Amino acid sequence: MDILSLTAAELGKKIQAKEITVKEAVLACFSRIEAVEGKVNSFVTIEKERALARAWEVQKAIDEGTLTGPLAGVPVAIKDNMCTRGMLTTCSSKILENFIPTYTAEAVLNLERAGAVVIGKTNMDEFAMGSTTETSYYGETKNPWNLEHVPGGSSGGSCAAVAAREVPYALGSDTGGSIRQPSAYCGVVGIKPTYGTVSRYGLVAYGSSLDQIGPIARDVTDCAVILEAIASHDEKDSTSISREDTDFTSALVQDVKGLRIGIPRDYFGDTPFSGKDKKQGDGSTTQAAAEGLDEEIKASILEAAKSLEEQGAVVEEFDLGLVKYAIPAYYVIASAEASSNLSRFDGVKYGYRTNEYEELHGMYKRTRSEGFGEEVKRRIMLGSFVLSSGYYDAYYLKALRTKALIKKAFDDAFSRYDIILAPAAPQAAPKLGASLSDPLKMYLSDIYTISVNLAGLPGISIPVGRTGKGLPVGMQMIGDCFQEKKLFRAAYTYECLTRKKWVSKWPDLTEEKDSVRKDAAAGREEK
Amino acid sequence: MAKQYETVIGLEVHVELATKTKIFCSCSTEFGGAPNTHTCPVCTGMPGSLPVLNKQVVEYAMAVGLATNCKITQVCKFDRKNYFYPDNPQNYQISQLYLPIARDGYVEIEAGGTKKKVRIHEMHMEEDAGKLIHDEWEDCSLVDYNRSGVPLIEIVSEPDMRSSEEVIAYLEKLRMICQYLGASDCKLQEGSMRADVNLSVREVGASEFGTRTEMKNLNSFKAITHAIEGERERQIELIEEGKKVIQETRRWDDNKEYSYAMRSKEDAQDYRYFPEPDLVPIVISDEWIEEIRSRQPELRTEKLARYKEEFDIPQYDAEILTSSKKMADIFEAATAICKKPKKVSNWLMVETMRLLNENGKEPSDITFSPENLAKLVDLADAGIINSSVAKEVFEKIFAEDIDPEKYVEEKGLRTVNDEGALRKLAEEAIESNPKAVADYKGGKEKALGALVGQIMKAMKGKANPGMVNQLLKEMLDS
Amino acid sequence: MANKISDETIEYVGILAKLELSAKEKEQAKSDMETMLDYIDTLNELDTEGIQPMSHVFPLHNVFREDVVKNGDNHEEMLANAPWQKEQCYKVPRTFA
């Protein structure tokens, strides 16, 4: 049987049933990595020896009956901004090129307790700042669907690794869309949970009030299983929330009858779902976001909405409001927090230190200027500026007030809807090199994902189509806080209806030229 | 006509709290220890580490706030103060700017015979930085993060003080309050209390404040007094010369009795404070405040009054007994056992203070128990041991907290009251010291001392000196 | 409304951020900042009068820890990644008090 064709949950079952050994699973991943990693560059660090040693331990525990969970023995890749004890953790930056933590992030510990085998650390935008994984110090990751395109970011490496079948699942982090957008670009499923659901201890902080860790996998079931394993209340994280409702797999039910789904006109413009709640939007807002949206993406998402409606969901257009203010508010808050969070990287306690300096402050400046990439420096400068004397009220406090209003807008929306649909990005994956020249344009492409972080809400991205050029299209579903189960139910329902179309295909990569049509022809479709 | 200048002083006092663990992590705050042996990812600023607030810090801060008549801020938060320095592992300090835990309080002081209120502007919690050690051999500095994260409260006064006497009185008052609450031992020399002095001068009668400077590195009351006087003179001189006082931070060197400006272009002094996203707000209910208030022990002023009334202890003695909570506690506990307040007081004021001073220690360093002191008082009072033996035994109690009853038995130190034995020794002494006897009979009362001394020596100090004296006089006067 | 960032401002922000920029980088930084700030100025269109700035999304408060020592001597682990160390301390260029 083709191990690589199994989802994480399926693999876990077969391992429990002794049909596959942990070692076999791990070796299958490594041989796939050997075959395709050179093309995709998903990983910063691959730890074969360590993974095999761990596989041996886990197998023993499974044989003894002490590890019986769904993820026991299943290999996983971890985004390189989560600390892993004894394993290089770089945040894809030069300034941490030699940093080996002596502690492990709580989310990863939860996976290890469940019997996961960590294969390696995946590539990302440096310090999670970026939307294409092109700002990594360790080279770009390519989109497995088309190697000339980006995988998205900042969890590009994790999404590419899953899409390329190098690992069954991976962990990513999401501050402004960094799980959802690359998941959409790579045709995989990714979820950012409600803020506070997964401990941030051991996650190298970017925007502390916005960061969350989440799973990236092949299907909705896997995401539910993984999220269930990593969600926990952690005493080491003061912002960690104690939740009783983390049995997310209980929501994997094919039923959306009566589920109220809202489609914001601000994102889509007018849609076939208009008519019931036609209000005046705030003009320019609706125009900008809706205009930037690629027609193919819009069509795929509306088609998905239609299938859910056919299953009994109630779908309606509405006005969300404030959409255009989300991005400036986000960038003020995120870069302000980042400028402070990244101050610790100074060559004193860990990481890179410059060789040429005369005195202390010179050492600081050189180390940081040599160690950080352009985008990181840009955001640190902006963040320092907006917090500086005289500007704090006008920028930072203003952004926090805007955040309060955005949260309120979502609260209003969720009083009428269970789920809000949105794109995950305005276009499918752009070409490599196309985005970096215009940072502002790159920031604007986050328009559908960042308000979710500002309001602390859960959001999932699932594949709903392909562009004419064969690139994946993703749809985002946003829920009210703590309502991941509704998201899982709706996403699972959609996926069951369309299983044959999106989830079962994957790019081959072992041939010279790739294309989805070729895959289809090669007959890799699963029943 | 020489101008008269008034000194205007405000203080920023940092007090290290006596919690067992640091403010944001469970590392020990124990003093000493080899470098970096009380550290963890949180207090060394490792990537991905997060702070978790120590509840005891909040309670101590509330207690000090209430004892200084402050209003407690019932919703308070932490903020980040951003600046780069190696003793600051994250290059930001978690402090409180916008919503400090206590505000608008005051303490009453007495200086130069006058009573006065010094107002407290605000009091907030924050974390301490690590220690920088300047290497003597190499051109480098070494960083020890043991102290990083130790909890501090910073008490900021209004510029209400006008002299170094008032400043010292204020510091002593704060120290007494913190010690009595158990919140801190406030030792300037050890750094558990640090004072930064903000000073300006103005002509007497002027309504505006002059430009102030800030002085740091004041490690003793002496240094503080010198620094205040020195800075006052320096500023007056500048003004008289028509120059401007520059607002700056100055470092005081007590050896040279001189201060110098600590200015650096590299330090923009723009701290970019913003609310700490990794910590959640603290909501303090009325009930919690009442609970802390009810736990407040009797403070010094109340004890002073009570000792005078209840135990009939004179003012001067009561002041010494209450100068430290430890001393006061021992006094009260020992008195409760033996019911002899004046005798207990005497032991504390005389012998205890003597031994503390000889060893360079403070009352808070007392290690003996009130039970053993009470036993000693009873033994001496009952005449079981004489006064010089009692002193000797007390030294042992002071050093090792021995049980005096056991010790006296083991070492056979009971006073010898056997009149027969003493009479015999007295006769021997009189016989062997004819000169002393002659001197005594000739009117020199003190000559008796030699005879007493010989008898005491023969009895290894255990003879009842009163009885010895009496016997000798009896035998010689007849 | 165009924001104009002066050389002094970039210099100042560089000190705050502890970054050293070449002349070319400074020009680029000025231009980037101006673009970003112009965009951020759109927030001024939004009326936020009377709205409390929201730091934390959820009303979580009073998260505390008991005052119990749980950490021991971790100096080896803490110093394991130090670029420079001496006598069990982190070593840095000489600081002046």
The 10s digit of each residue's pLDDT in A347-395 is: 999 999 999 888 999 999 999 999 999 999 999 999 999 999 889 999 9
Mutation target vs C (from A240, A241, A369, A396; most C CBs, 10 A cutoff): A369
Residue type at A468 in one-letter notation = G
Backbone angles phi, psi at B151, to 5 degrees: -75, 140
Question: Are the beta carbons of A350 and B46 separated by less than 8 Å?
Answer: yes
Chain centroid to Cα A434, Å, comes to 21
Could you tell me whether strands A459-466 and A472-479 are parallel, antiparallel, or unpaired per DSSP bridges? antiparallel
Pairwise CA distance, residues A162 & A202, whole Å: 23
Q: What is the mean pLDDT of chain A?
A: 92
Strand partners, B54: C65
* Tens digit of each residue's pLDDT (9 = 90 or more) over B211-254: 999 998 888 899 999 999 999 999 999 999 999 988 888 988 88
Asked if residue A280 has pLDDT above 60, the reply is no
Task: Kindly report, residue by residue over B164-203, the tens digit of the pLDDT.
Answer: 999 999 999 999 999 999 999 888 878 899 999 999 999 9
Catalytic residue positions of A, numbered: 79, 154, 178
| Contact: B142, C94; criterion CB under 8 Å | no
Question: What pTM does this model have?
Answer: 0.89
Dihedral angle, C-alpha B143, B147, B149, B154, nearest 10 °:
-120
Cβ contact A16:A178 at 8 Å: no
Better pLDDT: B251 or A83: A83
Residues of B in contact with A208 (CB under 8 A): 277-278
A363 close contact with C: CB closer than 8 A:
yes
Report the alpha-carbon distance of residue A155 to residue A162 in Å, rounded.
Answer: 11
Q: Give the pLDDT mean for A211-227.
A: 97
Q: Is the per-residue pLDDT at B478 higher than 80?
A: no
pLDDT of residue A512 exceeding 50, the answer is no
Give CA–CA dist B416/B413, Å, rounded. Answer: 9
Q: Look at B267 and A486; give whichever has higher pLDDT.
A: A486
Provide the strand spans (E) within A238-305.
Answer: 260-264
Q: What is the pLDDT of residues A228-246, one digit of tens each?
A: 999 999 999 999 999 999 9
Q: Is residue A410 less than 8 Å (CB to CB) from chain C?
A: no
Query: Rounded CA gap, A525 and A502, in Å?
Result: 10
Tens-digit pLDDT profile for residues B363-386: 888 899 999 999 999 988 888 888
- Would you say residue A283 has pLDDT above 60? no
Question: Per the structure block, which two tokens stand in for C64?
Answer: 């505390």
- Asked if residues B15 and B203 have their Cβ atoms less than 8 Å apart, the reply is no
d(Cα B145, Cα B35) in Å, to the nearest integer?
7
- Which of C12, C33, C80 lies at the smallest CB-CB distance from A382? C33
What integer pLDDT is reported at residue B268 of this predicted model? 64
Question: Using CB atoms within 10 A of its CB, is residue B265 exposed (0-12), middle (13-18) or buried (19+)?
Answer: exposed
Question: Least CB-CB distance to B48: which of A203, A235, A343?
Answer: A203
Contacting residues of A for C9, CB less than 8 Å apart: 385
* Contact across the interface for A388 and C12, Cβ inside 8 Å: yes
Q: How far apart are CA A92 and CA A133, in angstroms?
A: 9
Across A426-454, average pLDDT? 88
Inter-chain CB proximity B56 and C67 less than 8 Å:
yes
Phi, psi of B271 (to 5 degrees): -85, -5
Put simply, the answer to whether A401 touches C53 (Cβ < 8 Å) is: yes
Angstrom distances, CA of residue A275 to CA of A74, A293, A477, B360: 48, 21, 22, 88
Amino acid at A252: L
- The verdict on a CB contact (< 8 Å) between B268 and C16 is yes
Q: Tell me, what DSSP letter sits at residue B114?
A: E
User: Contact B251/B241 with Cβ under 8 angstroms?
Assistant: no
Predicted complex ipTM: 0.95
Task: Test B21 with C93 for CB contact under 8 angstroms.
Answer: no
Question: Is it the case that residue A516 has pLDDT exceeding 60?
Answer: no
End-to-end CA distance of chain B: 79
Contact status, residue A439 vs residue A318, Cβ threshold 8 Å: no
Please state the φ and ψ torsions of residue B29, each to the nearest 5 degrees: -100, 10
Q: Give residue B393's Cα distance to chain centre.
A: 27
pLDDT at A441: 76
Whether residue A263 is predicted with pLDDT greater than 70 in this model: the reply is: yes
Task: Spell out which residues of chain C touch residue B86, defining contact as CB-CB under 8 Å.
Answer: 90, 92, 95
Window from A95-99, A268-272, B26-30, B347-351 with minimum mean pLDDT: A268-272
Neighbours of chain C (3+ CB pairs under 8 A): A, B
Helical ranges in A106-178 per DSSP H: 106-113, 156-163
Gyration radius from chain A CA atoms = 22
Give the dihedral of Cα atoms C8, C9, C15, C16; nearest 10 deg: 160
Q: What pLDDT is stored for residue C11 in this prediction?
A: 92
User: Are the CB atoms for A79 and A156 separated by under 8 Å?
Assistant: no
Among A89, A201, A343, beta carbon nearest to B92: A343
Q: Where is pLDDT greater, at B412 or A16? A: A16
Q: Residue A221 sits in which domain range?
A: 1-527
- Please tell me which residue of chain A has the smallest CA distance to C19: A365
Residue type, A287: Q
In C, which residues are within 8 Å of B96 by CB distance?
Answer: none
* Contact residues on chain A for B89, CB-CB shorter than 8 A: 344, 348-349
Q: Where are the beta strands (DSSP E) in B83-226?
A: 92-95, 102-111, 114-127, 131-134, 140-144, 151-157, 193-203, 213-218
- B332: Cβ–Cβ under 8 A, 6 or more apart, which residues? B370
Q: How far apart are CA B335 and CA B385, in angstroms?
A: 20
Residue B274 and residue A336: Cβ atoms within 8 Å? yes
Query: For residue A483, what are the contacts with CB-CB under 8 A and spacing of at least 6?
Result: A194, A414, A418, A458
Residue A523 — pLDDT band, cuts 50, 70, 90? Answer: very low
Percent of all residues in chain B with a pLDDT value above 90, rounded to a whole number: 62
**Torsion-angle region of B344 (φ positive above 0: left; ψ -120 to 50: alpha; else: beta):** alpha
Nearest to C19 among A239, A325, A380 (CB): A380
* Measured CA angle at B182 (ends B177, B184), to 5 deg: 75
Of A103, A343, A387, nearest to B274 by CB-CB distance is A387
CA-based nearest distance A501→chain C, Å: 38
Please answer whether residues A51 and A117 qualify as being in contact, where contact means their C-beta atoms are separated by less than 8 angstroms: yes
Which chain A residues have a beta carbon less than 8 Å from that of B86? 346, 348, 360
Q: For residue A73, which of A60, A83, A89, A84 has the smallest C-alpha distance?
A: A60
Mean pLDDT of B70-86: 96
Nearest CA to A39 out of A169, A132, A166 is that of A166
Count of domains observed in chain A: 1
Tokens of A79: 């985004």
Going by C-alpha positions, the residue among B340, B170, C51 that lies closest to residue A329 is: C51
Which candidate from B47, B53, B278 shows the least CB-CB separation from A208?
B278
Q: What is the mean pLDDT of residues A288-307?
A: 88
Is there a contact between A379 and A154 (Cβ–Cβ < 8 Å)? no
Burial (Cβ within 10 Å: 0-12, 13-18, ≥19) of residue A195: buried
> Is the Cβ pair A365, C33 closer than 8 Å?
no
How many Å apart are CA C4 and CA C25, to the nearest integer?
Answer: 16
Q: Give yes or no for residue C95 having a pLDDT over 80.
A: yes
Domains and their CATH numbers in chain B:
5-287 (no CATH), 300-407 (no CATH), 419-477 (1.10.10.410)
Cis peptide before A158 (omega within 30 of 0): no
For residue A112, give Cα distances in angstroms to A297, B38, C22. 38, 28, 46
- Beta-carbon neighbour count of residue A260 at 10 Å? 16
pLDDT the model gives residue A502: 76
Between CA A282 and CA A273 the distance in angstroms is: 19
Extract the tokens encoding A298: 């819009």
CA distance A41 to chain B (A): 25
What mean pLDDT is predicted for residues A30-52? Answer: 96
Confidence band (pLDDT; 50, 70, 90) for B1? low
Q: Which residues of A touch C19 (CB under 8 A)?
A: 365, 368-369, 372, 377, 380-381
For A173, the enclosing helix (H) or strand (E) is strand A169-174
Distance CA A363, CA B137 (A): 20
| CB atoms near residue B359 (< 10 Å) | 11
Q: According to the model, what pLDDT value does residue A517 have?
A: 39
Pair A100, A121: CB distance under 8 Å = no
Q: Which of B84, B271, B283 to mutate to test the interface with A (most CBs of A within 10 A)?
A: B84
Read off the CATH number of the domain in which A129 is found: 3.90.1300.10
Q: Which of residues 242-301 of A touch C (CB under 8 A)?
A: none
CA B457 to chain C, closest CA, distance in angstroms equals: 55
Query: Closest to C18 (Cβ–Cβ): which among A327, A368, A455?
Result: A368
pLDDT, averaged across chain B: 91
The answer to whether the Cα torsion of A132, A133, A137, A140 is positive or negative is: negative
Residues above pLDDT 90, as percent of chain C: 78
C-alpha to C-alpha distances, C59 to A211, A456, A479, B44, nearest whole angstrom: 17, 12, 19, 29
Is residue A125 within 8 A of residue A179, CB to CB? The reply is no
Cite the DSSP H helix spans in A203-273: 220-230, 265-268
Collect all residues of chain C within an 8 Å Cβ-Cβ radius of residue A347: 83
Q: What is the pLDDT of residues C23-61, one digit of tens each?
A: 998 998 899 999 999 989 999 999 999 999 999 999 999
Contacts of C40 in chain A (CB under 8 A): 328, 331-332, 386, 395
Helix axes A220-230, A106-113, angle to 10 degrees: 110
CB contact under 8 A, C80 and A100: yes
With bands split at pLDDT 50, 70 and 90, how would you rate the model's confidence at B266? low
Please answer yes or no on whether A339 and C36 come within 8 Å at the CB atom. Answer: no
More confident residue, A171 or B268: A171
Task: Tell me the pLDDT band of B428, cut-offs 50, 70 and 90.
Answer: confident
Q: How far is C93 from chain A (nearest CA, A)?
A: 5
Q: Do B142 and C89 touch (CB under 8 A)?
A: yes
Touching chains, B (3+ CB pairs < 8 A): A, C
Q: Which residues are within 8 A (CB) of B220 and not within 5 positions of it... i.e. 6 or more apart?
A: B188, B189, B254
CB-CB: which of C51, C53, C57 is closest to A195? C57
Mean pLDDT along residues B378-401: 88
Residues of C in contact with B77 (CB under 8 A): 55
